[in-house]
Structure 1
Amino acid sequence: MVSEGLAIPFDLALIGAFGAAVVLSAIEADLPQVDALAEIEFEEPLRIFTAHGALMAEFGVQRRRAVAFEEIPPLLINAFVSVEDSRYFEHSGIDMIGLARAAVSVAKSGEATQGGSTITMQVARNFFLSPDKTIKRKLTEILLAWQLEARLSKEDILSLYLNKIFFGHRSYGVAAAAEFYYQKTLNDLTVAEMAMLAGLPKAPSANNPLSNPERALERRNFILERMHGFGYIDDTDFLLASTAPLSARRYVPTIELRADYLAEMARQEIVQRYGEEDAYRLGLRVYTTVDERLQLEADAALRKGLMDYNQRHGYHGPEATVEDIAAKDVDALDAILAARPRVPGLPVGVVTSATSSSAEVYLGDGEVRTLGLSQVKWARRFKTENWRGEAPRRVTDAVAVGDVIRLREAKAGEWVLAQVPKVSGALVALAPEDGAIRALSGGYAFEWSKFNRAVDAKRQPGSTFKPFVFAAALSKGYTPASLVKDERFEMPSANGMWRPKNADGKFMGPIRIRVALSKSRNLAIVNLINRMSVDYAREYIQNFGFALDSMPPDMSMALGSGSVVPIELARGFAVFANGGYRVLPYLIDRIEDAQGNLLFDEQPPRACMDCWIETEEEEARVLPVGASDDPPAPRAIDPRIAFNMDSMLKDVIESGTATRAKRLQRDDIAGKTGTTNESRDSWFAGYQPRLVTVVWVGRDDNKPLGRGEWGGTAALGIWMDFMEEALADIPVATIKQPEGMVPVRISLRSGEKTNSKSDSRIEFIRDEYQLMTLGPDPVKYAAPVARKTAPRRTAPRMLDELF
């Protein structure tokens, strides 16, 4: 009778077991391959470095740091095991006691409120499955856990777990969590910090020490009790850890060099190479060509130059105004200031009180500064680019309560009223040997304006474009001694009669090309391009890397009426600096993966600098890692033309429009000033054979800069400040004279060969033109006719002018 009573339940059990076996068999057929775990790549952010390894930027939504099992401290492992899976090293992937506890919970509540998952099961779920709480997913999870235990060691599974789990705030993996919450490596964590991290995976938001410190503290202490109960820590460690204060704080990458314009350029290039998704998850390490020292000097020089311009043209008033400031508490003011862009060296504040003699400025976080009259005296109100108001006589003439303003620390440590300059600028410095970008500033501050003017601002180059036209003339057979006419010129155009003028409104008559370039005579170069043809000049100038559509197909091109960006101009001047080779500017030197394996190594075409400059005997030539003389850069122009152009561009500094640069006391620097109509653009493009630097100053809205803001003023000052520091340790370079040139003594007036040593100089002329110094279409020098003595006036000057 007893056997008959057990028969029905036994049959039902068999049927249930058979059904479960069928379900499990069906699930097993669809299981993912555990072997795929070996191919899984842990996501890490994109990091940008300088040439010497200083971190410039870090990009990536998620933070991951994959570490080997041997790098994880045993006590940290015990912290996780004690709270997540205390029998981890005993079971074979499934903890039957935990599952039984979960089953009881389901029976009581009717819902899957507890999972009973082991660490192995969590790895299976995190890598292969969704977090949905269903019976099928749980069965799949169990089967995968068995497979994992069969194919991987306990250490391998635990390593996968600790490198994969989510810790909140976009941090994945225990190493990333240690860095984010404590800015430490795993070995540096305290017992209390280990317990805190072990408490996060169960509820990364609810147990978070940053967003919910009280609950996080409770969770930490619970884990410490578990660790103490299992004997992982002794009484002393437990007491110290359970009474330790919360020490978690938000991670901010330790940026060793702030160069945001360059970092953004590198980021864009990596996204273009690898795609939006992979760029931010593969842990790529991008090493650029940037020199930290030069970058710091570039930023400092550009900011100083723009601030100096700002001081010359007046104060534009507050950035914003806070209404009813008396009704706002400190927290409200802090929020207002925090919303303003961060600008290096120019902290933002709000004026909380102001009298005729002083003003209180609140800078946030309880910090206050006081401004006196001497600290606002410079702030004459901006009226126009050529007109400022009167100097303040009272502090309240400059600032008022509620003004959101900037301050700047003066040399004496005194804080003065300041403003982010309304004028913009750019500086780019590259190595003419291979085009490596050594420094670049795309504006006053990236946080204020992300527009990178060094690579994106197309502006008229003005007279900085003239050297390329003169080089075209030399290629056609003209020489530095050839005469050109600096005289009145006019011709019909689509907009009426075109009448170009010199900056000074005067004429010098027939002058040598060398003088025309150094003095930047507009009419002389117009005369020259008219003689050699615009089409020829445009075709030749493409050798410098300029696109044909950037050069207008008319004579205005000679005056720089086209459009270029500063980095294009730097590439063009590199041809003069390196002896005639065309190089391509580049920023990324090499790319490594997260394990340090080389993925990309730039091998730029290189100019033969040993062919161009003398090297001191004790000066060793150092090439970048992996670099060689191959591949050679293509020839852009005849080295003899480069030699002549270098000589004439040095005259720009020695006796031309950039004599201020003689302050640097170097005879190996050369360059060209440039100013466009109404001083809308101020340029200086110059170089030493080891470094080409271009500076542009202008308004983003293309408004005039104002009287006196020529290339030899605004831009040249910035160039000088930068190059003075950049060239401090670079020996003076001596240019080698190329073969095929002969010295010819020429007359300073006629440009023709002469034997007289007075009013003459030596010019190095290409062999084939030594007897044709005046070029293919010679302009003959005519001595000025002596004026006759004016007759004695018989009427007042006014009557002479009237009639």
Structure 2
Amino acid sequence: YFTDEIRRELSASLGDEELFTGGLTIRATVDPDLQTVAARALRDGLEKYDRELGVYRGPAAQIDPAGFDPSDEASWRAALAGASVPRDIDGWHPAVILEIGESSARIGIEGVEEDEDGHFLSFSDAKWARLRGENGRLREAQGADDMWDVGDVVQVRAITADGAFERWSYRQVPAIQGGFMAMDTMTGRVLAMQGGFSYQSSVFNRATQALRQPGSSFKPFVYAAALDNGYSPATIVVDAPIEVATGAGIWRPTNSSDKFYGPAPIRTGLEQSRNLMTVRIAQDVGMDVVAEYAERFNVYKDMPELLSYSLGAGETTLYEMVAAYAMFANGGLRVEPTLVDRVQDRYGRTIYRHDRRECENCTADRLSAAAQPFLRSNAERIMDPITAYQITSMLQGAVSRGTSRAAVGSLGLNLAGKTGTTNDAKDVWYVGYSPRIAAGCYMGYDNPRPLGKSAFGGTLCAPIFAEFIKVALAGQGPVTFPVPPGGRFISIDRHSGQRLPDGATGANVQVEYIKDGQETVVGGYGQTVDGGWKIGADVPLYDGVPAQNIERVQVRGQSRALPKNPSLGSISSGGLY
């Protein structure tokens, strides 16, 4: 996937003739070790989902039994070599069914020598894969002869225990697909890219070519627009029902949990992926401003000013999303992702170089006469560095208290990240970062369809990110993001946004970094946002509000009360609900 994407990009910029006949030397940005980790992590995640579905999709290929002799090794090896099956999956081997017994099948395995007794694939190992009957219903296979026929080509993997071979295990290429990408947040160098389960199975690169809805992973750009336009991390936003008249009827967005939580600081809205708070923020800031931010970060080229886009309804690529998150990580500087460091022609002349910075004081004839080298950054600033730090702090909260707590927060690396899950879980995402590495994962069917009720970005993609990042950051402790000048730290109550004395401690205390001159004290100086929708009077903000003053709302024909003490609520994945 990585090299094919390089070919695609250079073919477009240099032309096929120069690319293939120019004797070029191309220096790629890939880190081979991280590429191996990324490919393995994505494949493991896709295969895990597929095995949990428990559906058998038939053999990888079929060989006419009349075309080979099962007892003649040379015969079946020649037939198997001609089978069109993927051979680029680490640890997997194509195998042909030679003979079927009562509880197992004798197999011939490509690249593995025959032993005296032969190799066998136990039916009990493949029993998890249910057969689909003519009526479309799934049923358990009754035996090896019910699942396989002689001549079927399958994939197998050796299972070992303490380094010793134990058995051959059945494997199948999943129907679900996905992509993974990791890049350096300062230089844009793409360190790893995997565009699917197997390149030989499908060359379509889902990291760069698949246009999918990012769901809640888009929300940080809405919050960034708000923070750059008068909001602070302690701004109170009301989580209450919303109705929007559209040409297609009334749009009633809801939270993933189908609950309403009352007023809360915007930190809570991003950490817990609250859809209604996000829509109110987008309405208050203006979708024209949100669209400008999305385009500034290259998430979209020309984003429609529709409220549903604040919840990630538009389509973009994993490549663009990871690059956009990298700009949060580096403090708000534009960075262009690249797969190529340098291209030289056959004479050694550089015809392309990604890093355009000039090194001052690097031209002395002798090292002893050279001054200290100095590299001047030419990166464009696209966001206030304090806003970038605030978004990062909120996304660190999303990792430690939100939808990726179990998979990523448990690593204890102080990372920032956000899940994304769209309507009916057709697309699931996770994008996260440290100060120097941003990485992201996407999973879904190529022809979008629901992944199931238990499918979320935090359960499917976050573990893939965690598997990669713990190797990429091996040997490092918790990361620290640099604090930009021009602000100060204050303490607030995590639930109400109320100002607390400096140095306050406790589970509800949240230390926020705010811009100089920005008032964030709730009560008298605070800011409460309802997005322009009428929410009624006496909506409680803190503890101690009398029960009789609790606002009641009608939702789907039922009367519901907004809680008098807004809590974190249940963890939700957000999305387009």
TM-score when scaled to structure 1?
0.59
User: Equivalent residue of 1:458, what SS?
Assistant: coil
State how far apart, in whole Å, the 2-side matches of 1:300 and 1:427 are.
10
Equivalent AA in structure 2 for residue 341 of structure 1: V
Q: Which residue does 2:202 correspond to in 1?
A: 449
State how far apart, in whole Å, the 1-side matches of 2:27 and 2:174 are.
32
1:533 matched to 2:533? The reply is no
Q: Which residue does 1:769 correspond to in 2?
A: 518
Superposed, 1:460-471 pairs within 5 Å as 460-471=213-224
State how far apart, in whole Å, the 1-side matches of 2:168 and 2:421 are.
34
Q: Which residue does 1:786 correspond to in 2?
A: 547
CA contact (8 A) 1:314 1:388 kept: no
CA contact (8 A) 1:477 1:775 kept: no
CA contact (8 A) 2:237 2:528 kept: no
State how far apart, in whole Å, the 2-side matches of 1:388 and 1:716 are.
32
State how far apart, in whole Å, the 1-side matches of 2:441 and 2:277 are.
25
Unpaired stretches in structure 2, ≥5 consecutive residues: 359-372, 531-538, 550-577
Q: Deviations 1:128-159 (Å, cap 9, x if unpaired)?
A: xxxxxxxxxxxxxxxxxxxxxxxxxxxxxxxx
CA contact (8 A) 1:672 1:684 kept: yes
Q: What's the CA shift for 1:382?
A: 6.4
State how far apart, in whole Å, the 1-side matches of 2:137 and 2:170 are.
17
1:378 matched to 2:152? The reply is no
User: Equivalent residue of 1:348, what SS?
Assistant: strand
Equivalent AA in structure 2 for residue 271 of structure 1: S
CA contact (8 A) 1:502 1:523 kept: yes
Which among 410, 416, 419 is matched to residue 663 of structure 1? Answer: 410
Q: Do the aligned partners of residues 634 and 321 (structure 1) sit closer, same or farther apart at CA in structure 2, a change above 3 Å counting? A: closer
1:690 matched to 2:451? The reply is no
1:570 matched to 2:322? The reply is yes
Q: What's the CA shift for 1:274?
A: 3.4
State how far apart, in whole Å, the 2-side matches of 1:601 and 1:727 are.
28
User: Equivalent residue of 1:455, what SS?
Assistant: coil
Q: Which residue does 1:339 correspond to in 2?
A: 83
CA contact (8 A) 1:695 1:718 kept: yes
User: Equivalent residue of 1:603, what SS?
Assistant: coil
Which among 392, 395, 410 is matched to residue 159 of structure 2? Answer: 410
State how far apart, in whole Å, the 1-side matches of 2:234 and 2:456 are.
28
User: Equivalent residue of 2:399, what SS?
Assistant: helix
Q: What's the CA shift for 1:278?
A: 3.0
1:353 matched to 2:99? The reply is yes
Q: Deviations 1:746-786 (Å, cap 9, x if unpaired)?
A: 23343233449465433221112135667665467535542
1:745 matched to 2:491? The reply is yes
Q: What's the CA shift for 1:397?
A: 4.1
Q: Which residue does 1:483 correspond to in 2?
A: 236
Which among 286, 306, 310 is matched to residue 26 of structure 2? Answer: 286
User: Equivalent residue of 2:238, what SS?
Assistant: strand
CA RMSD of aligned residues (A): 2.7
State how far apart, in whole Å, the 1-side matches of 2:59 and 2:81 are.
11
State how far apart, in whole Å, the 1-side matches of 2:353 and 2:301 are.
31
State how far apart, in whole Å, the 2-side matches of 1:532 and 1:276 are.
47
1:542 matched to 2:295? The reply is yes
Q: Do the aligned partners of residues 315 and 352 (structure 1) sit closer, same or farther apart at CA in structure 2, a change above 3 Å counting? A: farther
CA contact (8 A) 2:232 2:514 kept: yes
Identity of counterpart residues, as a percentage? Answer: 35
Q: Do the aligned partners of residues 730 and 590 (structure 1) sit closer, same or farther apart at CA in structure 2, a change above 3 Å counting? A: farther
State how far apart, in whole Å, the 1-side matches of 2:347 and 2:67 are.
56
Q: Which residue does 1:645 correspond to in 2?
A: 391
State how far apart, in whole Å, the 2-side matches of 1:524 and 1:274 are.
47
User: Equivalent residue of 2:187, what SS?
Assistant: coil
Give the number of the structure whose residues are more often helix, by fraction. Answer: 1
CA contact (8 A) 1:270 1:279 kept: yes
Q: Deviations 1:584-627 (Å, cap 9, x if unpaired)?
A: 00111112234544443322579xxxxxxxxxxxxxxxxxxxx9
Equivalent AA in structure 2 for residue 586 of structure 1: T
Equivalent AA in structure 1 for residue 151 of structure 2: G
State how far apart, in whole Å, the 1-side matches of 2:160 and 2:287 are.
52
State how far apart, in whole Å, the 2-side matches of 1:696 and 1:326 are.
43
State how far apart, in whole Å, the 1-side matches of 2:294 and 2:14 are.
35
Which among 307, 310, 320 is matched to residue 47 of structure 2? Answer: 307
TM-score when scaled to structure 2?
0.81
Which protein has greater RCO, CA pairs closer than 8 Å, 6+ apart? 2
Which among 501, 504, 511 is matched to residue 264 of structure 2? Answer: 511
Q: What's the CA shift for 1:546?
A: 2.8
Q: Do the aligned partners of residues 677 and 553 (structure 1) sit closer, same or farther apart at CA in structure 2, a change above 3 Å counting? A: same
Equivalent AA in structure 2 for residue 692 of structure 1: A
Equivalent AA in structure 2 for residue 688 of structure 1: S
Unpaired stretches in structure 1, ≥5 consecutive residues: 1-260, 607-626, 789-803
CA contact (8 A) 1:313 1:388 kept: no
Q: Which residue does 1:395 correspond to in 2?
A: 144
Q: Do the aligned partners of residues 379 and 466 (structure 1) sit closer, same or farther apart at CA in structure 2, a change above 3 Å counting? A: same
Q: Which residue does 1:211 correspond to in 2?
A: none
Q: Do the aligned partners of residues 273 and 594 (structure 1) sit closer, same or farther apart at CA in structure 2, a change above 3 Å counting? A: same
User: Equivalent residue of 1:400, what SS?
Assistant: coil
CA contact (8 A) 1:518 1:648 kept: yes
User: Equivalent residue of 1:426, what SS?
Assistant: strand
State how far apart, in whole Å, the 1-side matches of 2:6 and 2:159 are.
34
State how far apart, in whole Å, the 1-side matches of 2:529 and 2:476 are.
42
Which among 455, 459, 468 is matched to residue 722 of structure 1? Answer: 468
Superposed, 1:84-95 pairs within 5 Å as none
User: Equivalent residue of 2:428, what SS?
Assistant: strand
Q: What's the CA shift for 1:280?
A: 1.8
User: Equivalent residue of 1:370, what SS?
Assistant: strand
State how far apart, in whole Å, the 1-side matches of 2:455 and 2:54 are.
14
Q: What's the CA shift for 1:405?
A: 1.6
Q: What's the CA shift for 1:724?
A: 1.0
Q: Deviations 1:192-219 (Å, cap 9, x if unpaired)?
A: xxxxxxxxxxxxxxxxxxxxxxxxxxxx
Q: What's the CA shift for 1:403?
A: 2.4
Q: Which residue does 1:584 correspond to in 2?
A: 336
User: How many residues are treated as equivalent by the alignment?
Assistant: 503
Q: Which residue does 2:250 correspond to in 1?
A: 497
Superposed, 1:161-200 pairs within 5 Å as none
Q: Which residue does 1:705 correspond to in 2?
A: 451
CA contact (8 A) 2:491 2:510 kept: yes
Q: Do the aligned partners of residues 382 and 767 (structure 1) sit closer, same or farther apart at CA in structure 2, a change above 3 Å counting? A: farther
CA contact (8 A) 2:489 2:512 kept: yes
Q: Do the aligned partners of residues 308 and 604 (structure 1) sit closer, same or farther apart at CA in structure 2, a change above 3 Å counting? A: farther
Give the number of the structure whose residues are more often strand, by fraction. Answer: 2
Higher mean Cα deviation, 522-531 or 591-600? 591-600
Q: Which residue does 1:239 correspond to in 2?
A: none
Q: What's the CA shift for 1:411?
A: 4.2
Q: Deviations 1:459-506 (Å, cap 9, x if unpaired)?
A: 000000000101111111111111112221111112111111211111
Superposed, 1:550-629 pairs within 5 Å as 551-604=303-356, 629=375
Q: What's the CA shift for 1:374?
A: 3.3
